[in-house]
Amino acid sequence: MGILEVKGVNKRFGGLQALGDVNLSVAENTVHAIIGPNGAGKSTLLNVLVGKLIPDSGSVMFDGNSVLGRQPYEINQMGISRVFQTPEIFADLSVIENVMIPCFAKRDGAFRMHAIESVGNEKNIREQAEAMLDDVNMLDKRNMIASVMSRGDKRRLEMAMCLVQEPRLLLLDEPTAGMARADTNNTIDLLKEIKEKRDITMAIIEHDMHVVFSLADRITVLAQGTPLVEDTPEKIKGHPKVKEAYLGEAAH
């Protein structure tokens, strides 16, 4: 029994079957990669997991509880954080504020009227946020306004915002897209380190096979909304169906 169990999920957009009978089981404390060509339905699947989309049928269980029908903020409170394909950050706030907000969210829950305290006096929260920024090598940028940073930095910031919440399941939608080679390698190292240090399960969508094979314990190949195969990285590398559906196509 995995920490995340997706069973028979279907999602249609008009005439398009974006997800067709998706079954997926992610074991606790593993990294599960989801790969597949553009438009395969990878992001749609994540949208279902975080409550952004409601599937037409099927079930999604996280740690024994159904996530379907819950609000996105409730699902996050259950321990699921997500890094988006296009960075979702608080663009007009400073980098440190971006990281402090999830810290407050973790401490105070969905709503708490802390109207008289001062952010400046919240030493714990600030230290937590600064330690996290240090981990992603962004401490020197803490007072920058987030919107002026490079795309790669925005992604790292978003990852820091998710990681600082210490989620049990981290969903990463192409975390290294738009990053320079060096930053990609740093990200791989960071994720490896996180995986060793903490009890965390990751589901990662990635087009960069170097990233996938460096991190993944298991890989699911999605094509046209349906899982084609699921196996270990070694097996996937040589799988004829995968070569046909994905790797061949990605070799452009």
Ligand X SMILES: Nc1ncnc2c1ncn2[C@@H]1O[C@H](COP(=O)(O)OP(=O)(O)OP(=O)(O)O)[C@@H](O)[C@H]1O
Residues in the chain, how many? Answer: 252
241-250 long-range contacts, CB within 8 A, separation 24+: 245/36, 245/37, 245/221, 246/35, 246/36, 246/37, 246/221, 247/209, 249/37, 250/37, 250/207, 250/209
Identity of the residue, 96 or 222, whose beta carbon is nearer to ligand X in the bound complex: 222
- Contact pick of 25, 29, 77, 85 for ligand X (by CB under 6 A): 85
**Exposure string over 7-37, b if 16+ CB within 10 A, otherwise e:** eebbbeeeeebbbeebebbbeeebbbbbbbb
The answer to the question of residue 108 lying near another protein (CB under 8 A) is yes
**Exposure string over 119-131, b if 16+ CB within 10 A, otherwise e:** eeebeebbebbbe
How far apart are alpha carbons 101 and 237 in whole angstroms?
Answer: 41
Question: Binding to Mg ion (CB under 5 A): which residues in 41-60?
Answer: 43
Identity of the residue, 84 or 246, whose beta carbon is nearer to another protein in the bound complex: 84
To Mg ion, the closest distance from the beta carbon of 183 in angstroms equals: 20
The count of C-alpha atoms lying within 13 angstroms of the C-alpha of 168, restricted to the half-sphere facing its C-beta, is: 13
To another protein, the closest distance from the beta carbon of 93 in angstroms equals: 6
To ligand X, the closest distance from the beta carbon of 140 in angstroms equals: 32
The answer to the question of residue 187 lying near Mg ion (CB under 5 A) is no
The answer to the question of residue 18 lying near ligand X (CB under 6 A) is yes
Identity of the residue, 158 or 208, whose beta carbon is nearer to another protein in the bound complex: 158
How far apart are alpha carbons 82 and 203 in whole angstroms?
Answer: 9
To another protein, the closest distance from the beta carbon of 138 in angstroms equals: 17
To Mg ion, the closest distance from the beta carbon of 167 in angstroms equals: 20
- Contact pick of 3, 31, 33, 40 for ligand X (by CB under 6 A): 40
Question: Binding to another protein (CB under 8 A): which residues in 1-40?
Answer: none
How far apart are alpha carbons 21 and 187 in whole angstroms?
Answer: 32
To another protein, the closest distance from the beta carbon of 61 in angstroms equals: 19
- Contact pick of 6, 9, 26, 42 for ligand X (by CB under 6 A): 42
Binding site for another protein (CB under 8 A): 50, 71-73, 76-77, 81-82, 84, 88-93, 97, 100-102, 104-106, 108-120, 122, 161, 165
